[in-house]
Amino acid sequence: MSRFFSRVSVNSFAPQSLVSRAALVCLTAALACPVFGYAQSAETGQDAAQMTMQTPAPAEAKKPAKAKKSAKAEKPAKAEKAPKSDGKLVPSKDTKKMQKKTRKTDPLAGVDSKLPDKQLYDKAMAAMKKGKYDVARLDLQTMLNTYPDSQFQMRAKLAIGDSWYKEGGSAALTQAESEYKDFITFFPNAPEAAEAQMKVADIYYRQMDKPDRDYTNAKRAQEEYRNMIQQFPDSPLVPQAKQQLRQVQEVLATREAGVAAFYASHENWSATIARYQSLVDAYPLYSHIDDALIGLGDAYSAEAHIVSTMKLPEGPKAELEKSYKDKAAQAYDRVATRYAAAQHVDDAKDRLSALGYPIPVPTAADLARSEAEEQSRANVTLRDRALIMITSRPDYVSAARIGEPTMVDPKPTLAPDITKASIAAFQAAMNPAQAGRGPAEQAAAQAATQAADTLNGTPTASTDAAAAQAAPAQAAGPVQLQDVPTVSTPDVGSSATITDVPAGSSGAAPAGNSNSLEVVQPGSAPATGASAPPTTPADDNGGLKAVGPTNNTVLPAIEQPAAAPDTINDVKNANVAQPQTAAAGKKAPKPAFDAKDDSSNKHKKKKGLGKLNPF
C-alpha cells in the first residue's frame, strides 16, 4: 500500500482547498502501514515531510491497546489462582435480608426438612404465610396429635398462637392470648416464653384507643409489659418492651392531663390538683410534663387567690395564702430544675418571679438528663399527623426513647384528700393552739376547758347540751317484772298490766299469788287516791288485755265526694242536632250540615289565599 502511494502523486487526487488536503492527509495516514516506513511523494516534498511526521502516531496509539489485550488475557489466570466463591453462588444483599426475615419468623426453616413431623410444620408455616390460618392450625394440631414427642412441639404450640395473632380481630386476639398463656404455663423456662409474654402485651397494645376513649386496653398493656420485663429480665426483647411501655404510659399520661384540664376549666381546684399530682408522680417521662407541673402550680395559685379574697383575720389569711404559694413555687421550681430543657421552662420562671420567689439554677446532671430526654423524642411529621387523624390509634410519637419507665404505680392523690388537707390547714391557721394535735388530744383539751368553765360557774353551751343528753340516759332504768295482785274474780288466769313506778322505788313486788306480768315503766309517779284509775275486770280473752284504743266509739262513715253534675251545653240557643231514626231496612241519614256555624274542609271550599290559612 505504501508503494502505491509513493508512486502516485498526491496532487493528482487532492483538491486545491486546504480543508480537502487535510482530509486526504488523514485518510492516507489511516491507510498507511507503520511497518514498511514512510511514504514519500516525488513531486511535493513538503507534503511528504508532513505525512512522515504523522505516520508514527497510530503505531504508538496501538501499543496501549495491545497492553490492554494482554491484561485482559491475564485476568482469567488470576481468577483461577485465587477463586473467591469456590464455585458457589454468593447471595446478594436482598437475599440475605429476606433470609434474615425468614429466620426471625421461622427459626426452624430448612432444619431437618425430611422428617415427617417437620414436613407438617413447614406445610403449616407455608399456609400461614399465604394467610390460610385455619389450614395452618389444622396442620399444626395434626402434628401435635400424631407426634406428641416431636422436637418441634414447642414451636408448634407457639405457632398456633401466632396464627390467631396474625388473623386479628377481637375474638381471634382473645384466643391468641389464651394460647400464649398456656404456652408460658407449659414452658416457663424456654426462651420462647418471653416472646409469648411479649405477644400477650402486644395484643392489648394493638387495641389501645385514643386518650379520650376507654383506657382499659392501655392499662392491661402496661401491666403485661411490666410482667414481661420483671419475669424475663435477660431476654433480648426487654429493650423493645421498655420502649412500648413508655409509649403506653405516654397515652395514659395524656388522658390524665386532659381530665385535669377539664377540672381546671370548671375551677374545681381540688380535683385539678389531685389529677396533676397523680400524673407527675406516676409518669415523669411524659412529653408535656412541664405543662402538667405549670398547671399544678396554677391550681395552687388559684387557691391562694381565693384565700386572699376571703374575709378572715389578717394573720390566718396571710398564713394560708403563703402555704398555697409555697406549693405553687415547688411545682414551678421543679420545671426550672428537673426539666430545664423543656419547652415551657421560661413560663415557669416568669411565674416564680411574679410570686416573688428566686429562680433556681439547674445542676449539670439535671440539665444533661433533660436535654437527652428531649432529643430522644421524635418530631411529629405530616405523615404521623395524617395517620393519627385517619386511624384510631393513639398519639405516642413524641414519647421518650430513653429513661426507665415507671414499674410500680405510686399511691394516687384523691380529691377528697386534697379537700381534707385544705380544711385542716384552715383550722390550723384559725386555731394555732390546736395545730399539730390529734383527735384524742383535741377532745381532751375540750373536756378540760368545759370542766374549768363548770368550776367557775359559767357552763358553756356544749356543757348544757351534754347535760341535756345525759339526763334521759340517767333516768332510764331496766325493765322490771313484778307480781300483780290478784283481781276479785274467781278465775285464776294471767293478765298483763302496765304500771308506772317512780324512779326512786326499789322495785319490790307486792304480795300476790297470780302469775300475771306487769311491765313497769320507770320515771313516772304512782297513781294514788281519787286520781287512780279503777280496776278493770278481766275479759273473756284468756286474761290478756285487748290491744287498741280505749275509746271504742264507732267512727262515722267515710264521707264521699258528691257526684259531679252532668255536662250541660253552655251555648245559648244552640241548635243541637237531633238523632234521626232510620226507616226499616235503610241507613240512617246523615245529620244536616250548617255552613254558618260549622266549619269543615269537606263542605266548605276555600279559594285563593284562603287555602293557606289553616284557621
- Which tens digits make up the pLDDT trace of 383-418? 888 888 888 889 888 899 999 999 999 999 999 999
CA–CA gap between residue 120 and residue 34 (Å, rounded): 77
Say yes or no to pLDDT of 184 above 80: yes
Q: Categorize the per-residue pLDDT at 552 as very low, low, confident or very high, splitting at 50, 70 and 90.
A: confident
Q: What is the mean pLDDT of residues 3-18?
A: 46
What percent of the chain clears pLDDT 90, i.e. is strictly above it? 42
Phi, psi of 529 (to 5 degrees): 70, -145
Are 196 and 169 in contact, with CB atoms under 8 Å apart?
no
What are the pLDDT digits (tens) for 54-71? 444 444 444 444 444 444
Weakest mean pLDDT among 174-178, 193-197, 489-493: 489-493
Cell 422428617, located at residue: 115
Phi, psi of 345 (to 5 degrees): -70, -30
CA angle 177, 179, 181 (to 5 degrees): 70
338 closest CA partner among 277, 378, 410, 284:
284
CA–CA gap between residue 303 and residue 294 (Å, rounded): 14
Are 18 and 40 in contact, with CB atoms under 8 Å apart?
no
pLDDT of residue 386: 87
Are 413 and 277 in contact, with CB atoms under 8 Å apart?
yes
343 closest CA partner among 277, 294, 380:
294
pLDDT of residue 599: 57
Weakest mean pLDDT among 345-349, 566-570, 595-599: 595-599
Say yes or no to pLDDT of 349 above 70: yes
pLDDT of residue 431: 81
Neighbours of 613 (CB within 10 A): 8
Domain spans in the chain, listed from the N-terminal domain onward: 2-61
The most confident of 2-6, 334-338, 383-387, 597-601, by mean pLDDT: 334-338
260 closest CA partner among 288, 219, 220:
288
Q: What is the mean pLDDT of residues 168-180?
A: 93
Give 483: exposed, middle or buried? Use CB within 10 Å, 0-12, 13-18, 19+. middle
Neighbours of 260 (CB within 10 A): 25
Q: Which triple of cell numbers denotes residue 329?
A: 413555687
DSSP alpha helix (H) spans, 356-438: 364-376, 382-390, 415-430
What are the pLDDT digits (tens) for 319-347? 899 999 999 999 999 999 999 999 999 99
Kindly give, in sequence order, each residue whose CB lies less than 8 Å from that of residue 123, ignoring residues fewer than 6 positions away: 139
The radius of gyration of the chain from alpha carbons, rounded to an integer in Å, stands at 55
pLDDT of residue 344: 93
Say yes or no to pLDDT of 258 above 50: yes
377 vs 460, residue with greater confidence: 377
Say yes or no to pLDDT of 442 above 90: no
DSSP at 90? P
CA–CA gap between residue 120 and residue 128 (Å, rounded): 12
113 vs 261, residue with greater confidence: 261
Q: Categorize the per-residue pLDDT at 78 as very low, low, confident or very high, splitting at 50, 70 and 90.
A: very low
Q: Which triple of cell numbers denotes residue 120?
A: 407438617
Q: Categorize the per-residue pLDDT at 23 as very low, low, confident or very high, splitting at 50, 70 and 90.
A: low
pLDDT of residue 114: 72
Say yes or no to pLDDT of 97 above 80: no
What are the pLDDT digits (tens) for 531-540? 455 555 555 5
Cell 403563703, located at residue: 322
249 vs 102, residue with greater confidence: 249
594 closest CA partner among 604, 586, 584:
604
Q: What is the mean pLDDT of residues 372-383?
A: 89
95 vs 147, residue with greater confidence: 147
Q: Categorize the per-residue pLDDT at 493 as very low, low, confident or very high, splitting at 50, 70 and 90.
A: very low
What percent of the chain clears pLDDT 70, i.e. is strictly above it? 56
Weakest mean pLDDT among 232-246, 404-418, 435-449, 559-573: 435-449
CA–CA gap between residue 178 and residue 462 (Å, rounded): 66
Q: Categorize the per-residue pLDDT at 73 as very low, low, confident or very high, splitting at 50, 70 and 90.
A: very low
Say yes or no to pLDDT of 156 above 80: yes
Q: Categorize the per-residue pLDDT at 275 as very low, low, confident or very high, splitting at 50, 70 and 90.
A: very high
CA–CA gap between residue 229 and residue 235 (Å, rounded): 8
pLDDT of residue 385: 83
Q: Which triple of cell numbers denotes residue 572?
A: 245559648
Say yes or no to pLDDT of 465 above 90: no
Say yes or no to pLDDT of 43 above 70: no
CA–CA gap between residue 400 and residue 286 (Å, rounded): 8
Q: Which triple of cell numbers denotes residue 232?
A: 424475663
What are the pLDDT digits (tens) for 495-525? 444 555 444 444 444 444 444 444 445 544 4
Q: What is the mean pLDDT of residues 532-555?
A: 64
Q: Which 3 state secondary structure label does DSSP give 512?
A: coil
Q: What is the mean pLDDT of residues 424-442?
A: 71
Q: Which triple of cell numbers denotes residue 530?
A: 281519787
Neighbours of 119 (CB within 10 A): 14
